[in-house]
Chains A and B, each alone.
Chain A
Amino acid sequence: MVLGNLASLVYFLPELAVTATILLLVVLHVVLKNRRSPAAALLALLGTGTALLFAWMTPSGAGMGLFEGMVLLDGFAVFFKVLTALATAIVIFMSIDCAELAERTQAEYYIFLLSVLLGMFLLSSASDIVMVYLALELVSIPSYLLAGYFKGKGSSTEASMKYVVYGATASGVMIYGFSLLYGMTGSTQISEIGRVLAMGAAPLPASLAAGMVTVGFGYKIAAVPFHMWSPDVYEGAPTPVTAFLSVGPKAAGFAVLVRFFYTVFASPEDAGGIWKLSSSVDWTFLFSVLSAVTMTVGNLLAVNQKNVKRLLAYSSIAHAGYMLMGFVLLTAVGLKAILFYLVVYLFMNLGAFYVVVLVANGSRSEDISDFSGLGSRAPVAAVSLAIFLFALTGIPPFSGFIGKVYLFAEVINRGVYWLALVAALNSVISLYYYARIVKVMFLEDPTQSGELPVAFVPRVMLGILVVPTLLLGIYWEPVIRVAEASVKILTN
């Protein structure tokens, strides 16, 4: 079913809520000038919460084309809208607690943040390549601004600059791929492109287009070799922004990657071949290599990092590699694993960054030595961080383990054993550097004296992030069912 512009608005409430909030924030910005006020944060929180609620309540039946088929409202889109809105809400809390931002936090920060959220909403539901491109840019451009939010700080400016250059290049390559697809099929609709390609496409341009589109999406999810921007951006950007970039846009990147490739390049599973393009190039193998290289490079580079923020940046590259394991076969079961992993990743990764924010509030840097003795200086924060880090490693009984089991499972089921082995060994490598942080927190004496106070709100937030990290490691049936349902809608 495809709806016209006006009829679509009813189904566009989450996006409208975000847009309205952005406009209100603009007004608030004018009113506030440069005065600091909690109003902006609260307004942003309210808007995000409303959007989250609307997204949650959207009837997620079969797909519905909105705005003449530019965006597709289906369970898959709803899943990612809820996920990204949740990430944004947590990041807003984190921003409120962040001392380095507090000096500069004005309405404009939240304008950028919510613009990215709007972009992510659109990216996860875009069903037209023009819309995909627009949404991707809507995510990227405010992200550049967020990365460079500390105008005076060299590393922040450098991060922003690097981000722009890489982003522009990746977008350029991607849109060239899109133009090839349009030329071959005469349509900008993703489903139509897939249908025409299925009738028999020239393998070379189709493969070329697929490769070019991969560059664009690979950049968003920070897969090696398109990851070069991410360590610098993650280190230079304000910590809440880093946390945001490593979860939100990455999730949205996976959403568009999955939707686009699954719609355009996947054959029905009962037809035997899963990748439609497999006749000319072994795409499963190519993406397996991409996945293996991404996780290995991410992990190896993380081993020697002294700055915890940078360390988590590399680790998030590695996690993109793990998640790609669910993508290599382009099967519904594998994609379901990605969705599930994104949920657990949201909690554990944002949780880890949350503690980094709290620690950096006291010491004004994220050096690993600032964490020494945290176990006695701030036990709640330290234990939470240990839980998040072990969850990221993938050790039971934490949720990260279950996420990895699902990712490994599909790869093993389909016989790509080497990739599973590489990923398993990567988990061991990752333990080494995650445990290093745990080591300085609990096994070393504090270098700074005195307790690190953790206020009430961050305590609650840590609790909110810890509980799902523990709970999803013990009972995860409801979440995996939702992920399954979301992917099923996509595959029909």
Chain B
Amino acid sequence: MDFINSHILTLMTFLPVAGGAIILMMPSGRDNHIKTIAAVASFLPVLLAVQLWFLYDRTVAGVNVASQFQFVEHYTWIPSINVEYFMGADGISMPMIMLTTIVSFLAVVGSWGIEKQIKGYMTLILLLETGMMGVFASLDFFLFYVFWEVMLLPMYFLIGIWGGPRREYAAIKFFLYTLLGSVLMLLVMLALYFNTTNPETGGHTFNMLHYMQQATHNAWLKGFDIRILMFLGLFIGFAIKVPLFPFHTWLPDAHVEAPTAISVILAGILLKMGTYGLMRISFPIFPDVTKWFVIPMAVLGAINIVYGALCAMAQSDLKKLVAYSSISHMGFCLLGMAALTPAGMIGAAFQMFSHGMITSMLFFLVGVVYDRAHHRDIDGFGGLGAVVPVYTFFITVAFFASLGLPGFSGFIAEAMVFLGSFGVFRTIVMISASGIIIVAAFHLWALQRIFLGPLNPKYAQLEEINAREIFCLAPLALMTLFLGVYPMPVLNLMSASLNHLVDVVKMVI
């Protein structure tokens, strides 16, 4: 038990890929064994996440204080350039780690129906989980970058091999966009490395927490123009991942072509890495530039909210609609973060968590209907409510959660974002608020076209949602509902860190 507790983040990160290795060594054809191993390998991290939940001390902040990180594992990896294996968790990463384990496990279970090359599929999805966990747990920039990139390969193959008709185009577009963002991040990382000194050893360092101590920066790195450039380099890297307008065009393609479970992971976790990166890296390392850049960030957030919603409204493909609604919802995260108020920051982080659950539900649900009807054209259905009542129930819950109905977690998050940011930039928030109406409009309109009205006779025999699919949806729906009524469990988890993050940025002159 001691071993587990002291290496809990490492175990959570590498158990999935270990499962993947076992699968790889199995003879193909034993699909059920492969699925079972994958499920176990992704369920063990969920158990560990529960353990993490109970052990986590909610009173300390972390962010830039090394001593306050929990579950820390700190080893030397490459001594000659001071690369370290440095993992730890604080209130910024905790909710994301939780979310990753849950969504990944559900995605594995949700992939039960995959028939084509299940062995490769499960190996890749487990590798992907390792990459995601690693990103959220790393505190060494080099390690963070390696995990960040490790995700690209499985994602490329998962979209490219198991995706829809235009999968090749979508996969390479995703790959090129993200790689473009990452190489900029790499350059910034190296520039940071050479222009900071580790106060303990006097050498250069990849330790993010050292970068956050402004005293470690040398004269060159203190120049404001340089800092702006470096901030922008990181920002573009993260913005592509979020994705922020105008870097968002890869997302609809990737989402539409990806298989259901991969869309779930993509929207549920991968998008959050962009905003997580801003909170974890950009804000604390460059607090001064962050303050200088808040208005553009808020504007970009508002554009995302309104533009994403308008695009979603124009879609006739249900999956594309959900994809664009993700763009809209991620705009709230940015708006909340830009406000630099505790409420805004916590709202943004809570939105990341809440949207992770809601959008996962939505993509699962889209997958359910696509598996049966083999198309996703909103106008191609009609009156399904009478045929598949259980399915209709779930999708209604998910849609209402997504459009921000009070009682669901999305409402709390968006309300906090607005509360936190209204005092800071009124006009931008008022424009963003109009996005809420559009979001509500396209959700309700889609709901009406698919489930109400006269029944399309083609789908009179449509199969009802099955138990496995409900198994994937129910936990998410319950959590969304529970956190919508009582969000404190998650808010408590992150408030100390996010309050401190706001202070870190605000305090800088």
Q: List the interface of chain A (C-beta within 8 A of B).
A: 390, 395-397, 401, 405, 408-409, 412-413, 417, 420-421, 424-425, 427-428, 431-432, 435, 439, 442-444, 475-477, 480-481, 484
Q: Is the CB of A396 within 8 A of B160?
A: no
Known A-B contacts A431-B175, A432-B176, A439-B172; the reply to A424 vs B184 at CB < 8 A is yes
CB-contacts of B126-162 with A (<8 A): 145-146, 149-150, 152-153, 156-157, 160-161
Q: Looking at the complex, which one of B79, B146, B157 makes contact with A396 (CB distance below 8 Å)? A: B146
Within 8 A of A (CB), among B70-90: 77-81
Q: Is the CB of A428 within 8 A of B176?
A: yes
Out of B80, B150, B171, name the residue touching A481 (CB < 8 Å): B80
A412 to B168, CA, bound (A): 35
A408-B190, A409-B194, A412-B190 given; A443·B160 CB < 8 A: yes
Shortest beta-carbon distance, A230 to chain B, in Å? 26
Interface of B is mostly: helix
Chain A residues contacting B179 (CB-CB under 8 Å) are 395, 427-428, 431
CB pair A424 B194 closer than 8 Å? no
What residues of chain A lie closer than 8 Å to B152, measured between beta carbons? 395
Q: Are the CB atoms of B146 and A475 closer together than 8 Å?
A: no
B172 — which chain A residues lie within 8 A by C-beta?
Answer: 432, 435, 439
Q: CA–CA, A420 to B233, complex, Å?
A: 13
| Residues in B whose Cβ lies below 8 Å from that of A409 | 81, 190, 193-194
B160 A424 Cβ-Cβ under 8 A = no
Q: Is the CB of B149 within 8 A of A396?
A: yes
Query: Is B294 in contact with chain A by the CB < 8 A criterion?
Result: no
- Shortest beta-carbon contacts, A-B, top 9: A424-B183, A396-B146, A413-B194, A396-B149, A412-B190, A443-B160, A428-B180, A443-B168, A477-B78
Query: Contacts of B153 on A, CB cut-off 8 Å?
Result: 390, 395
- Of B145, B168, B190, the residue contacting A420 (CB under 8 A) is B190
Q: Give the size range of B's interface with the partner.
A: 20 to 34
Taken together as a complex, chains A and B put the C-alpha atoms of A481 and B81 apart, in Å, by: 11
User: Assuming the A-B contacts A420-B187, A424-B186, A428-B183, are A443 and B194 also in contact, with contact meaning beta carbons closer than 8 angstroms in the complex?
Assistant: no
**In the assembled complex, how far is the CB of residue A436 from the closest CB belonging to chain B, in whole angstroms?**
8
The verdict on B255 contacting chain A, using a C-beta distance below 8 Å, is no
A295–B71 alpha-carbon span in the complex (Å): 44
Contact across chains for B149 and A395 when beta carbons are under 8 A apart? yes
Shortest B112–chain A CB gap in Å is 23
Question: Can you list 17 A-B pairs with a CB-CB distance of less than 8 A?
Answer: A396-B146, A405-B190, A408-B186, A409-B81, A409-B190, A412-B187, A412-B194, A413-B190, A417-B187, A424-B184, A427-B179, A428-B180, A439-B171, A443-B160, A443-B161, A443-B171, A484-B80
Q: Is B191 located at the chain interface by the 8 A CB criterion? A: yes
Least CB distance, B501 to chain A, in whole angstroms: 28
A-B Cβ contacts below 8 A, count:
77
Q: How far is the CB of B177 from chain A (nearest CB, A)?
A: 9
In the complex, chain B residues whose CB is within 8 Å of the CB of A480? 78, 80
Measured between alpha carbons, how far is A475 from B75 in the docked complex, in Å? 14
In whole Å, how far is A412's beta carbon from the nearest beta carbon of chain B? 5
Q: Given contacts A395-B153, A412-B190, are A443 and B80 in contact (CB under 8 A)?
A: no
Residue of A nearest to B160 (CB): A443
CB distance from A333 to the nearest CB of B (A): 10
Judged by a CB distance under 8 angstroms, whether B210 is at the interface is no
Question: Is B443 an interface residue, CB under 8 A from the partner?
Answer: no
Residue ID in chain A nearest B162 by CB atoms: A443
B217 at the interface (CB under 8 A from A): no
User: Other than the known A397-B146, A444-B168, A477-B78, what 14 A-B pairs have Cβ atoms closer than 8 Å?
Assistant: A395-B153, A396-B146, A401-B149, A409-B193, A409-B194, A417-B187, A425-B183, A427-B183, A431-B176, A431-B179, A432-B176, A442-B157, A443-B168, A480-B80
Binary flags per residue of B301-331, CB closer than 8 Å to A gives 1, else 0:
0000000000000000000000000000000
Residues from chain A with a CB closer than 8 A to the CB of B78 are 475-477, 480
B167 adjacent to chain A (CB < 8 Å): yes
CB distance from A390 to the nearest CB of B (A): 7
Set of chain B residues within 8 Å of A424, measured between Cβ atoms: 183-184, 186-187
The docked-state distance in angstroms from the alpha carbon of A431 to that of B180 is 10
Bound Cα distance A215, B171 (Å): 42
Known: A395-B149, A431-B179. A439 touches B187 (CB 8 A): no
Please, which residue of chain A has its CB at the minimum distance from the CB of B152? A395
Contact of A443 among B167, B176, B193 (CB under 8 A): B167
The CA-CA distance from A169 to B141 in the complex, in Å, is 48
A435 x B184 contact (CB < 8 A): no
* A-chain residues with CB within 8 Å of residue B79 when the two chains form the complex: 477
Q: Which residues of A contact B171 (CB under 8 A)?
A: 439, 443
Proximity bits, B173-213, A CB within 8 Å = 1, else 0: 00110011001101100110110000000000000000000
Using CB atoms, name the residue of chain A closest to B76.
Answer: A477
A337 to chain B, nearest CB (A): 11
CA–CA, A24 and B176, complex, Å:
52
Rounded to whole angstroms, the CA-CA distance of A409 and B81 in the bound complex is 11
Shortest Cβ distance from A430 into B: residue: B179
